[in-house]
Amino acid sequence: MISRRNLLKSIGATALAGSALAMPALARANGNAAGRVVIVGGGFGGATAAKYIKRRAPGIDVTLVEASGRFYTCPFSNLYLGGLRDFDSIGHDYAELTGRYGVRLVADLARDVDGAGRTVTLASGETLAYDRLVLAPGIDFRWDAVEGYDEAAAELAPHAWKAGPQTKLLKAQLEALEDGGLFVLSAPADPFRCPPGPYERVSLIAHYLKTHKPRSKILILDAKDAFSKQGLFTAGWQALYGDLIEWVGLSNDGKVVRVDAAAREVETEFGTIHKAGVLNVIPPQKAGFIAHAAGVVNESGWVPVRAETFESAQVPGIHVVGDATIAAPMPKSGFSANAQGKVAAAAVVAALGGPASPEPVFANTCYSLVGPDYGISVAGVYRAADGKVVPVEGSGGLSPAEADAAYRRREARYTLGWYAAITQDIWGTAA
Mean pLDDT for the stretch of residues 341-362: 96
pLDDT attached to residue 1? 35
pLDDT number for residue 20:
38
Residue 8 reports pLDDT greater than 60 = no
Amino acid occupying residue 197: G
Report whether pLDDT(23) > 70. Answer: no
Position 430 scores a pLDDT of 67
pLDDT-derived band at 16 (thresholds 50, 70, 90) equals very low
Q: 368-377, pLDDT tens digit by residue?
A: 999 999 999 9
**Residue 242 pLDDT > 60:** yes
Q: pLDDT tens digit string along 303-327? A: 999 999 999 999 999 999 999 999 9
User: What domains lie within the chain, and their CATH numbers?
Assistant: 4-138+288-427 (3.50.50.60), 167-281 (3.50.50.60)
213's CB contacts (< 8 A; 6+ apart) are 177, 178, 179, 180, 181
Element holding 420 (H helix, E strand):
helix 405-427
Quote the pLDDT of residue 91: 98
Average pLDDT over residues 228-239: 98
Say how many C-beta atoms besides its own lie within 10 A of residue 386's C-beta: 8
As a whole number, the mean pLDDT across the chain is 93
Instruction: Give the burial class of 251: count Cβ atoms within 10 A of its Cβ; 0-12 exposed, 13-18 middle, 19 or more buried.
Output: exposed
Question: Is the pLDDT confidence value at 5 over 60?
Answer: no
What is the 3-class SS of 247-281, one letter each residue? EECHHHCCCEEEEECCCCEEEECCCCEEECCEEEE
386: alpha, beta or left, given left = phi > 0 and alpha = psi -120 to 50? left
Q: CA of 171: how far to CAs of 20, 60, 78, 218, in Å?
A: 32, 42, 10, 15
| CA atoms of 199 and 195, how far apart (whole Å) | 8
Give strand pairing partners of 92: 71
Ranking 128-132, 210-214, 227-231, 358-362 by mean pLDDT, the lowest is: 358-362
Residue 156 has pLDDT above 70, yes or no: yes
Report the alpha-carbon distance of residue 97 to residue 64 in Å, rounded: 9
In the prediction, which pLDDT does 33 show? 84
CA 314, CA 305: separation in Å to the nearest integer? 8
Encode pLDDT of 37-84 as tens digits: 999 999 999 999 999 999 999 999 999 999 999 999 999 999 999 999
Four-point Cα dihedral 108, 304, 355, 427, nearest 10: 40
Name residues whose C-beta falls within 8 Å of residue 125's C-beta, 6 or more positions apart in sequence.
none
pLDDT at res. 429: 81
**Is residue 18 predicted with pLDDT exceeding 80?**
no
First to last CA, the chain: 33
**What 3-state class would DSSP assign to 192?**
coil
Distance CA 312, CA 157 (A): 35
How far is Cα 425 from Cα 368, in angstroms, rounded to an integer? Answer: 20
Name the phi and psi angles at 310, rounded to 5.
60, 30
CB 268 within 8 A of CB 281: no
Distance CA 231, CA 413 (A): 21
DSSP state of 165: H
